[in-house]
Amino acid sequence: MNRKFAISDIHGQFEPLKALLAEAKFNPEQDTLVVVGDMIDRGPQSAKVVRFLKRMQEQHPENIFVTLGNHEIMMRRYAFEGKSHMWLYHGGTEVIKELNTEFVTITERNEHLVWLANLPLYVKDEEHFFTHAGIDSFEPLTNQKEDVTFMQLRQLYLQPANPMTKRIGNRKIVHGHTPYPFVYQTERFVSCDTGASIFKEGKLSLADLTNNVYFSCETETLHITKQGIRLLTELERLKG
C-alpha cells in the first residue's frame, strides 16, 4: 500500500531525518513525502538536509514535495533580497559556514539556495493541505503572502470554518511551526512539529498520515518510537 508521510521543522537534524525514513521503510518509488518547511537553522547539519531533500525531490518529483517555512523566508530575505538580517540571529550565521563547507563550488551552493528560496508556500492533495504555519482563509490561495509562514497557532485555529472550507474544501491542514510534545490531529488540523533543535527534549517526528501513526526520533541517541497520532479538540490544544 502506498503511504503518505509528512514531516516539519527538521531544523538541520540530518541523521534523525535519515533514521526516521529508514525506520518507516519509506519508499520514494511508492510512498509520498511532504516536508512542511523549516529545514534549516538551529540544528547541526542544515546544508546536508538541503542537499538530501533537493536530490530526493529531483529524483522523485511525483512523490516528494517541499514547502517554504519561515526560516527559509528569512534566508531568502537576507541572501537574495537584502531586506533583513533577521536570519543571522536565528541560526543563519552557522548555516552560511555549513554551506561553504558542504558545497565545493559557489555555483553548487547557489543552486541549492535558489531551490530553497523558490519552494511553494503550500501543496495539496485530495485529503490534505500542507503549509508550514497556516493560511489566510480570507484571501484566495493565489494571493497568500509569505508572512503566513510566521502565523501563530491561535491565529490559524481561530479562523472560522466557513471561509477556510471555501479556500481548501474539506481538507485537513497539515502544519508545523508551533512545537508540541506529540503529533496530534484535531477536527481541521494535523500538527507535526515536536520541537527538534528547539527544546532540550525535542524530537523529530515523521507522521504516517495513511495509518494515523508517527515515528519520533531523539536527536542525540537516534532512538525511535512509534505511536498513534493523538486526537485533540482545537479548544483543548489552544488551552494547552
Q: Which residue has the cell 479538540?
A: 233
What pLDDT score was predicted for residue 82? 87
Q: What cell was used for 158?
A: 481561530
**C-alpha cell, 19:** 533514521
d(CA 12, CA 38): 9
- Which domains are delineated in the chain? 4-239 (3.60.21.10)
pLDDT at position 194: 98
| pLDDT less than 70: residues of the chain | none
Question: Cα(140)–Cα(168) distance, rounded to whole angstroms?
Answer: 10
Distance separating alpha carbons of residues 240 and 230, to the nearest angstrom: 14
Q: Are strands 184-185 and 230-231 parallel, antiparallel or unpaired?
A: parallel
List the one residue out of 19, 73, 68 whose CA is nearest residue 220.
19
| Per-residue model confidence (pLDDT) at position 207 | 98
**Gap between the Cα atoms of 182 and 160, Å rounded:** 25
Q: Radius of gyration of the chain from Cα atoms?
A: 17
Strands 203-208 and 4-7: antiparallel
pLDDT digits (tens, 9 = 90+) for 125-158: 999 999 999 999 999 999 999 999 999 999 999 9
Q: Model-level pTM?
A: 0.96
